[in-house]
A and B are shown apart, each in its own frame.
Chain A
C-alpha cells in the first residue's frame, strides 16, 4: 500500500534509480602527490555528462568494480564541463582499487550529491577560501568557479597551508596564481626541507596577517582537518564574521549519498543531503558537529 500521492510511477522505476552508477572512463591520471592523485573522468554516455549539474562543493559516489563505493568531492569547476576531476587520497579498499586502475579503465559514478556552496547567495561578495592539507580538494571547484566567473565576486583571497611543498595539492597550478592580480593567492608550508619554496613558510593562520578581509562583505569557505577549523575560527571570529558567512565542508562516513543509509548523520542532519557544506552557525547548533 502506498498513498496515491506517491504512487505515480509506472513500471519498476529503474530509470530514476538513484543508486545506479553510470560508467565513466578514466581519461587521465595525474600522479600529483604520492597517495593523492587526480583522476579525470568522462561519462561514456554523453547525455549523462551533459545533464550532470554540479555546484562547487558537491560530491559524487564513486564505484570501483569489485571494491565498492566511496564519496569523493568534485575538484573541478562546473564552469569547465565535459569531464570531472577527482582528487583522491589512497586510504582503503575503494581508493586502493582505484589506484590500481589505468587510463581508459571504467569506473562508476553517480551524483552529484550534497548542497554545495550557495554560490548564488555568495555572488556580489568578497570570497575568502581557507584550506589546510587535503581540504584543498573540495575548495578547488569553488576557486575555479570564482576565477571563471570573476565578475560575480569582489576581492578573492585564497589561503592554503600544507606540511611541505611536496605534499601541497595542485601546487603548480596554485603557484601560477600567485602573480595574478585578480586573486590574492597566499600559499604557506609548515616547513621547507628542500629550501626551494618561494612562498610563505609558517602555519596557516599566520596568512591572515597578509590579507585585508572585510567581514561584512566576505564569505569565508573553510576546509581542512579539525585543527584547521579551530585555528581559522580563532582568526575569523575576532574580525567580526557573522556565523552564517563562514562555510565549512564536512566529511562523514557515507554509504548512500541520498539520505537513506543513516551513516552520515551529524546530530539531526544528514551530511549527504543537508551538507556537506554547513555554516558555522549550523555547526555550533548541531551536537557532534566538529
Chain B
C-alpha cells in the first residue's frame, strides 16, 4: 500500500481540493450529537468526534428510498434520487468502514447484488480517520479496529502530521491533485505510528471474547436473560437504527387516491418492532419482545457468523449509548458467557 504523510496545517487546503471529487461531507457537531453532513465551510468539520448518531450507512441505504415507480403504460420504472451524486465522506472511523464492508457482503456481493447500493457505493468516496476510544468502544473485540480495505484514503494522527494510507486509485488521484503536499514517511513517523497504535490498544475499557460465542448462543437459547431483556426493552428500535450493520427494510407502494400509479418505497426497519415477522392470518413468528431482542442478538452474533464468517457487529458502541433503558451489548454477551464483572465501567 502506498503510505504518505500530510502536514496537519495543510488539511484545509487538501479539503478544498477534495471538492473536485464530490460534495464533501464530514462529522459536524449538532445539538443532537455528531452527524455526517454536507459542509458549508471546512471549519465546521469536527474530526476528533467520538461517534456520529447515525452511521454512514445512511449514504448507502438511505432511511427512505424510492426503488421503482409504477406508471402506465411503462410499468415499473427503476430509479432513485441522488444515486449519481458524487460525495466524499471525510473522517469515517475504522469500525464504520468495517461495517460498510460487511454491508457489502449482503448488498454488493452474492447472488442478487443491489444496484442502488452498489451505485451509491461507487459514487461515494470514503476517507477514514483514526479515533480515540471511549468507554463504549469495543471494536478490537470485534476485530474491527482496523480496516485493510474499504477506504480511498485513511488518516492516522502522528503528531504534527497525518500518516495517510492510500487505499484506491481514486485516493491516489486525490493525493496527486494537491501537488507535492503529501510526502514520503520517514523512519521516525513509523516509530510514532507504532507508539500511538500500541498506546491506543491500552485504552479500551470493554471486552468480549468471540471464541465459541456462536456455540454459547446455541447453549443459552433458553436462557432467562432473554425474558429479562424482553421485559426491559421498549422496542424503540434505537439500537438498530443507529447500528452501522443493521440493514433490514420494509417496502410499501405509495399511491394517490383513485390511482394505481406511484412509487415503491423502502424504509429502514428493525426486527425489534413487533410486526417484523408477522404473516397472514395474524400469525407472528416472534410474538414476544423477548423473542425479538433475542433474535436481534442472534442474527448479529450467531447468524451472521454462519453466513459470513464473523459477527455482524463492529463494536462501535452506538447501541449502548442510545438505549434508553441501559441494555448493554457487552454486558449481555458476557452474562451469557458467565463472565459477570467484565464490564469495568458503567
A residues with CB within 8 A of B: 1-3, 6-7, 9, 12-14, 16-23, 63, 65-69, 89, 91-92, 106, 108, 251-253, 255-256, 258-263, 265-269, 273, 287-288
Q: Give B258's nearest chain A residue, CB to CB.
A: A66
Q: Which of B151, B271, B279 has the most CB of A within 10 A?
A: B279
Instruction: Return the CB mask of B227-246 against A: 1 if under 8 Å, else 0.
Output: 00000000000000000000
Q: Does B91 interact with chain A (Cβ within 8 Å)?
A: no
Docked-complex contact A2 and B122, CB < 8 angstroms? yes
Q: Tell me which residues across on chain B come within 8 A of A65, comparing CB atoms.
A: 70, 260-261
Q: Does B177 interact with chain A (Cβ within 8 Å)?
A: no
- Nearest-neighbour CB distance to chain A for B83, whole angstroms, equals 7
Q: Tell me which residues across on chain A come within 8 A of B221, comparing CB atoms.
A: 287
Chain B contact residue count (CB 8 A cutoff): 69
Q: Give B107's nearest chain A residue, CB to CB.
A: A260
Instruction: Return the CB mask of B274-295 against A: 1 if under 8 Å, else 0.
Output: 0011111100011000010001
Docked-complex contact A14 and B115, CB < 8 angstroms? yes
In the bound complex, what is the Cα–Cα distance between A285 and B250 (angstroms)?
28
Docked-complex contact B279 and A255, CB < 8 angstroms? no
Given A19-B68, A66-B259, A267-B298, A261:B269 Cβ within 8 A: yes
Q: Give B148's nearest chain A residue, CB to CB.
A: A3
Q: Tell me which residues across on chain A come within 8 A of B251, comparing CB atoms.
A: 68-69, 255-256, 261
Docked-complex contact A255 and B249, CB < 8 angstroms? yes
B residues with CB within 8 A of A: 67-68, 70, 75-76, 78, 83-84, 100-101, 104, 106-115, 118-119, 121-122, 124-126, 149-152, 167-168, 170, 221, 247-253, 255, 259-262, 264, 266, 269, 271, 276-281, 285-286, 291, 295, 298-299, 302-304, 306-307
Docked-complex contact A23 and B75, CB < 8 angstroms? yes
Docked-complex contact B118 and A108, CB < 8 angstroms? no
Q: Give A61's nearest chain B residue, CB to CB.
A: B251
Docked-complex contact A287 and B112, CB < 8 angstroms? no
Report which of B68, B83, B118, B151 forms a contact with A9, defined as CB distance below 8 A. Answer: B118
Q: Tell me which residues across on chain B come within 8 A of A19, comparing CB atoms.
A: 67-68, 78, 114, 264
Docked-complex contact B76 and A260, CB < 8 angstroms? no
- Nearest-neighbour CB distance to chain B for A195, whole angstroms, equals 30
- Nearest-neighbour CB distance to chain A for B153, whole angstroms, equals 10
In the bound complex, what is the Cα–Cα distance between A268 and B112 (angstroms)?
19
Given A66-B259, A252-B285, A267-B303, A1:B126 Cβ within 8 A: yes
Given A1-B126, A261-B249, A21:B111 Cβ within 8 A: no
Docked-complex contact A66 and B279, CB < 8 angstroms? no
Can you give 10 contacting A-B residue pairs, CB < 8 Å? A1-B124, A3-B101, A6-B113, A9-B115, A13-B115, A17-B115, A18-B112, A69-B253, A91-B280, A259-B112
Given A65-B260, A66-B70, A252:B279 Cβ within 8 A: yes
Docked-complex contact B298 and A287, CB < 8 angstroms? yes
**Which 10 pairs show the lowest CB-CB distances between chains A and B?**
A268-B303, A66-B260, A262-B248, A258-B112, A13-B115, A65-B260, A18-B112, A68-B253, A66-B255, A2-B121
Docked-complex contact A265 and B260, CB < 8 angstroms? no
Q: Give B252's nearest chain A residue, CB to CB.
A: A68
Docked-complex contact B271 and A262, CB < 8 angstroms? yes
Docked-complex contact A2 and B108, CB < 8 angstroms? yes
- Nearest-neighbour CB distance to chain B for A7, whole angstroms, equals 6
Q: Tell me which residues across on chain A come within 8 A of B124, comparing CB atoms.
A: 1
Docked-complex contact A259 and B110, CB < 8 angstroms? yes
In the bound complex, what is the Cα–Cα distance between A19 and B152 (angstroms)?
29
Q: Tell me which residues across on chain A come within 8 A of B150, comparing CB atoms.
A: 1, 3
Q: Tell me which residues across on chain B come within 8 A of A269, comparing CB atoms.
A: 303
Q: Which of A6, A266, A287 has the most CB of B within 10 A?
A: A287
Q: Tell me which residues across on chain A come within 8 A of B83, comparing CB atoms.
A: 12
Docked-complex contact A261 and B248, CB < 8 angstroms? yes
